[in-house]
Structure 1
């Protein structure tokens, strides 16, 4: 058994918190931070070796956990994360995002971008407050940046009400979003009664 596995078992026995490194024979994993158990997620048959190696490289960074999410707050981490977002399935979309900040407009600020990657069922919190522009401009080993992912029309990305995030990303970081699926507009389009389409519903509705 590897030193990494032994260390994880020691932490589980003592109840101490600490970073978890997945064993090499696991694919993408969900980490239960309460018990430190590792549950393998079945990999898609269409998942290429490049995606598998990118996910493995990201896991080996021993990212900090907050609840069920991983914090991305270094250029190295954002670069490796970007590589895992390439070559993902597009139907249904693989990337689901939301943005947090203060007055999310071109005159406000962005603190966090929450990203769910559906095929791996992993959630990442990208710390824009710490990384600032480097969150979008740092290239991964395959040469792509997070900005290029956001601007790629061939990579579908799902938001709820894209208006404020689009304004903030463009005004603060010169990012022109493309390939966006807006759940708010999709919900509006599915309403059967014409009169009910006069107003948009908020996320609480």
Structure 2
């Protein structure tokens, strides 16, 4: 876990003032609920984990910024717009007051797999990770987070493991990592939060 939270892609960042967009308050509210549940947070070594995104168009989404996991509450300056990406080249472009999360390419890949997906939540939990490893659709252990390989792994899970129906996965090569998505922020967040209730 020593490289946790490190951006592994080439990030072209256009720094701007905080963005204003419809749905920001809802996005921040769900992010803070996931933080309160312990699925977004900070490891003892000071590295943050977990992120949340909301699709705006077929080619753009808003995502929480890198290293915001420690924040009890987020504000507009903690979100950025990802408006261009190239998985093959391991690169993306973001516009906003902060660089995009280290899992942004994975979010981009999931959004391109199914046009009905409008929101994604990535959280961490050692207990849930161990409980659902190879029970829910699970990425290969050899695939590290934040890489083109992880982005392509999303497609494999859609094709081979019924990810579209289950809407939640475990990242075997990204210790403690889980990811959920949905047609709304509420559906994505409650899919992940529901694992704690089962």
Q: Normalising by the residue count of structure 1, what TM-score does the alignment of the two structures yield? A: 0.26
The structure with more radius of gyration: 1
Structure ranking higher in strand proportion? 2
Q: Normalising by the residue count of structure 2, what TM-score does the alignment of the two structures yield? A: 0.27
